[in-house]
Amino acid sequence: MDKQKLVLIGNGMAGVRCMEEILREAPDLYEITIFGAEPHLNYNRIQLSAVLQGSTTFDDITINDRNWYNEQNIELFTGETVLKIDTEKQELLTDKGRRHPYNRLIIATGSMPFLLPVPGKDIEGVSTFRTIEDCQKMMETAKHYHKAMVIGGGVLGLEAAKGLLNLGMEVTVVHNGPHLMERQLDETAAKLLQTELEKQGLRFLFEKETKEICGSNRVERVSFKDGTEAAADLVVMAAGVRPNIQLAKESGIATNRAILVNDYMETNIPNIYAVGECVEHRGMVYGLVKPLYDQGKVLAKRICGLRGKGYEGTVLSTQLKISGVDVFSVGQFSCDDRLQSIVIFDELDGVYKKMVFEKSRMVGAVLFGDTSDRTRLLDMIMKRQDVSDLEKVTLFQALNRDGNSAASMAHSEMICNCNGVAKGTIIEAVQKNGLTTVDQVKKCTKASGACGGCKPLVADLLNYIHSDEFDEGIEQKSMCSCTTLTEDEVVHEMQWQGLTTVQEVMEVLGWENKEGCSACRPALAYYLGMIYPEYERKQENLYISEQRMAIIQKDGTYTVIPQMYGGKTSAEQLRMIATVAEKFGITNIAVTSEQRIHLMGVKKKDLSALLADLDMQVSSTYGNMVQNVKTSIGEHICHCDKHSSMELAVSLEKRLEFLITPYRVTLGVSACLHNGAGSTTKDIGVIGTGLGWEIYVGGSSGRNVRAGKLLSLGTKNQDVIDIICAFIQYYRETANFLERTWQWIERVGLVHVREVIFDFELRQQLLFRLEKDTMFRKRFSGKQMSGIEINNQQ
C-alpha cells in the first residue's frame, strides 16, 4: 500500500523539528518531501548572532546535515520556492516549474525581516539580519568599512550590534523608544543593560525615527525626523519581523496577522496545517523557539492520528545572548492595579532582580547581572505555583546560591527549556556516553541546540560533572548483595525469560544467596506482581479477606480498622463499633490522623468472632499501598463548602483500594487554598480553587519536609481522578521498589511525567491496566486465607 505524501513548505527550525517529532511518533507513515527557499540545509537561525560575535561557526549551527535527510528517506529541495498551493487538486507549484502532489501539507514559511519604508532602503550597504547570507554580508563589510548603525534596540538589534563591535566596527544603535528592550525589560533593567553595553563600546541614540538613508553609491549617513543625522558605512535594519503569509493568502488560507490555526495547528483548509512564526494562535504570533517547538509536538501527534492535548499557548521568556551580559525576562514585568512586585537592586555589584505577582502567584520576572535561577523561576511561572505559604524573602535567598548554579539544581529541573532537557538527563548522557564537551552534549541531548541561552549553564554542569565535587551520578547499583544485576536488568530478564516465581528468578539469574535476602525477596515479589497481576504472592503482607483484615502487633494482639471512606461514617456504624468494643473488652480505641477508628488489642481467639459481629468492610492500608486519603473535615480556619472535596476523597479511596505500590503513597484533598489536609506535603495532593482542582505530586511530610510540585491546575472532578490514577499507575510501572514518588520524579523528570499523563491515549492505557489490576486484587483479597497474618514490620 502506497504511503501518503506529506509535504513541508519551509526547511527552517519549526518545520523540521515538527518532522522530527512525526518521525519519532510514526516513522513509516508518510512519504516526506521538504521545500526550502534558502539554498542551505536546516540551520539554527537563532545562533547567527553567535556566529557574528565569533563564538561559533556556520558549520556548528547546522542542525541536520544531508545524511540525516537521506537516512530518514526525506526528499529535500533547497533553493526552491513554492509559488502556489492548489488546494482543490492538492498540488504545489514551485519557481522551478515543479508540480508536486500532497495528501497532507504543513506550511512553515516563518517570517520576513521588516524593512523601514524610507528612501534609500535599497542602496548598497543596507542589510537585514535574518539569514546566513545577511550574516556573511555583514562580516565581509566589516573588513572594508568602519562605521555601523543598527536600527532597533530589541534583542536581535543588540545581538547584531555586539557582533559588529566584535568585528572591529564602531557601532551605534538607534532606537525609537526611550530605553532598550522595552518589550522585555522595565526601565531600571534597561538602563543597567545600556550602561554595561556602553562599557563594552556600543553607542546609543534613543527616541529617533529614521527619515532617510543617504548616499550616492552606498550608504554614507542616516538622517532622522528631528533634523539630526549620523554617519554610517553599514546600516542593519533589526526593527522586527513580519509573518511570511503571502503564499497562504494567495491560496485562500485564512489569515489575520499570520495564518490562523486552531489548537491542533489546523488551518481552515482540510489537510493543510501550519506551524511556527507564520502562525497566529488565539491572537498570538510567536517569534521564540520554545512555543514553535511546542506547536510542532502537538501537530506531530495530530498528523499521526494520535490523540493528545491541543496547544494552549506558551509563557514567553527572553535571554540576551551577548557575552559578558546576563539578562533574563519572562512573563509580565510591569505592574498595574492587579500586579505587585518584589525588587532587589544591588547597585554595587550591578545585580537587579524583580518578581511580579498576581495575588499569590508569580506571573513574571526580570533578572540582570545574575540569571542563575532563571529555570526555577520560569518553572514556577509556567506552573502558576501558589507561593502564599512561602516567606517571599526565601525566593531571593534561592537566587543567591553560592557556587556552581548547576550543582544546586534538582535532577528534574530544566537546563534547556526550549528542548525540555533536565539536569538528570544530561548527567545520565554524560556518564553513559563519556561526553566531555558542550557540543557533544548538544548532539546527544539537544540541550543548548535551540536559542543557545542555556549554553553557559550546560558548560557549568559539564564542568561540575567532571569535577572532584561531583557526587550525584545516576549510578546503577545492584539490586542487593545477592546479585550483581541492577533492578532494571533483573526486571528485564524476568520479562524476557518469562520467570514467574521468586525462587525461579533467583535460580535462573544465578543468585549467590539461594534464599535471597530481606531486600530482594519483597522487591522480586513486587515486580512479579506488576508483570503478572494474577501472581499470588506468598508473602507476609496479604489479606485475610476483603472484609476480614487485621494487623498483628508485636505483642501478638491485632488491630482492626473499620473502613470509613473519606473519613465519613454513620450513627449505625458507630453503634456497631461501640457494641463490638464493649463485647470483646477493647479499651484501647483511637481516632487516628488518617481519620479512621482503630480497635487495638484484639486477642487472636476473639478475632474471627469480632470481625463477624462487626460486619463492616475493614480497612488495611498497612505497608506499601495507597493510603487512606487525608481530608480537611475538621478544619475551622474557613467555612468553605467541603462537600465536593469529601466526595472526591471517597471516590479516590474506592478507586485505589487494595492497590500495592513501590512505596507507601499518601494522598490529601483540601477543600480550598487554606490547605487543611496538608496536600502540598503528600505524595499526591489536591487543593480546591475557584477554577477547579490543583494537583501537586512528590511531596513529603517526613523528617525532611518536601513541597509537592504542581502537576496540573484548573482540573475538573473526573479529570482529577483519572490524572491521579494514571500518575499512580505510571509510578507503579516505572519506579524502583521502595523508591518514593519524589525520588522517582527527580529521576525521570516532572516534564516527562506530564507528557505521559496528559497524552490522552497513554493515559487511557494506564487507566485500563490499573483497573484490570485493581479488579483482580479486590477479587483476590476476597479469598479465604485464614492462615495468613500481616506482621507489623517496616
Query: What's the pLDDT score for residue 546?
Result: 36
Question: Over 50: is that where the pLDDT of 176 sits?
Answer: yes
Question: Over 70: is that where the pLDDT of 391 sits?
Answer: no
Question: Over 90: is that where the pLDDT of 399 sits?
Answer: no
Q: Whole-angstrom Cα distance, residue 418 to residue 286?
A: 13
How would residue 463 be classed by pLDDT, with cut points 50, 70 and 90?
confident
Q: Whole-angstrom Cα distance, residue 646 to residue 643?
A: 5
How would residue 789 be classed by pLDDT, with cut points 50, 70 and 90?
very low
Kindly state the average pLDDT of the residues 653-682: 85
Say if residues 621 and 630 touch (Cβ distance below 8 Å): no
Kindly state the average pLDDT of the residues 459-481: 76
Tell me which residue of 697, 695, 692 sits closest to 717, measured CA to CA: 692
For the full predicted model, state whether its pTM sits above 0.85: no
Could you count the other beta carbons within 10 Å of the beta carbon of residue 226? 10
Question: Over 80: is that where the pLDDT of 369 sits?
Answer: yes
pLDDT tens digits for range 594-608: 778 889 988 888 888
Q: Collapsing DSSP states into helix, strand and coil, what is residue 628?
A: strand
Q: Whole-angstrom Cα distance, residue 403 to residue 401?
A: 7
Q: 620 vs 153, which has greater pLDDT?
A: 153
Query: What's the pLDDT score for residue 540?
Result: 35
Q: Enter the C-alpha cell of residue 98.
A: 515543479
Q: Which residues touch 748 (CB under 8 Å, ≥6 apart)?
A: 412, 734
Kindly state the average pLDDT of the residues 57-65: 89
Unique residue bearing C-alpha cell 523608544? 177
Query: What's the pLDDT score for residue 243?
Result: 96
Question: Over 60: is that where the pLDDT of 724 sits?
Answer: yes
Q: CA angle at residue 34 from 31 to 39, to 5 degrees? A: 150
Q: Collapsing DSSP states into helix, strand and coil, what is residue 560?
A: strand
Query: What's the pLDDT score for residue 456?
Result: 78
Tell me which residue of 104, 97, 96 sits closest to 9, measured CA to CA: 104
Q: Whole-angstrom Cα distance, residue 474 to residue 186?
A: 41
Question: Over 50: is that where the pLDDT of 537 sits?
Answer: no
Residues in the chain: 794
Q: Whole-angstrom Cα distance, residue 376 to residue 155?
A: 22
Kindly state the average pLDDT of the residues 545-561: 71
Query: What's the pLDDT score for residue 760?
Result: 85
The 8-class DSSP code of residue 391 comes to -
Unique residue bearing C-alpha cell 457494641? 579
Kindly state the average pLDDT of the residues 684-707: 84
Residue 81 identity: T
Q: 22 vs 470, which has greater pLDDT?
A: 22
Query: What's the pLDDT score for residue 606?
Result: 87
Q: Whole-angstrom Cα distance, residue 603 to residue 581?
A: 12
Question: Over 80: is that where the pLDDT of 441 sits?
Answer: yes
pLDDT tens digits for range 115-152: 999 999 999 999 999 999 999 999 999 999 999 999 99
Q: 633 vs 73, which has greater pLDDT?
A: 73
- CA distances 687 to 389, 393, 653, 659, 696, Å, are 13, 24, 17, 23, 8
Query: What's the pLDDT score for residue 246?
Result: 96
- Of 36-45, 159-168, 344-353, 723-732, give the lowest mean pLDDT range: 344-353
Tell me the residue ranges of DSSP E strands in 395-531: 414-416, 421-422
Unique residue bearing C-alpha cell 537561525? 45
Say if residues 171 and 150 touch (Cβ distance below 8 Å): yes
Kindly state the average pLDDT of the residues 558-573: 84
Q: What is the DSSP string of 166-222?
A: HTT-EEEEEESSSSTTTTT--HHHHHHHHHHHHHHT-EEEES--EEEEE-SSB--EE
Kindly state the average pLDDT of the residues 86-94: 97
Question: Over 60: is that where the pLDDT of 541 sits?
Answer: no
Kindly state the average pLDDT of the residues 327-335: 88
pLDDT tens digits for range 211-239: 999 998 899 999 999 999 999 999 999 99
Kindly state the average pLDDT of the residues 86-114: 96
Query: What's the pLDDT score for residue 415?
Result: 83
Query: What's the pLDDT score for residue 551?
Result: 76
Q: Whole-angstrom Cα distance, residue 256 to residue 443?
A: 38
Question: Over 50: is that where the pLDDT of 783 sits?
Answer: no
Query: What's the pLDDT score for residue 1?
Result: 54
Question: Over 80: is that where the pLDDT of 587 sits?
Answer: yes
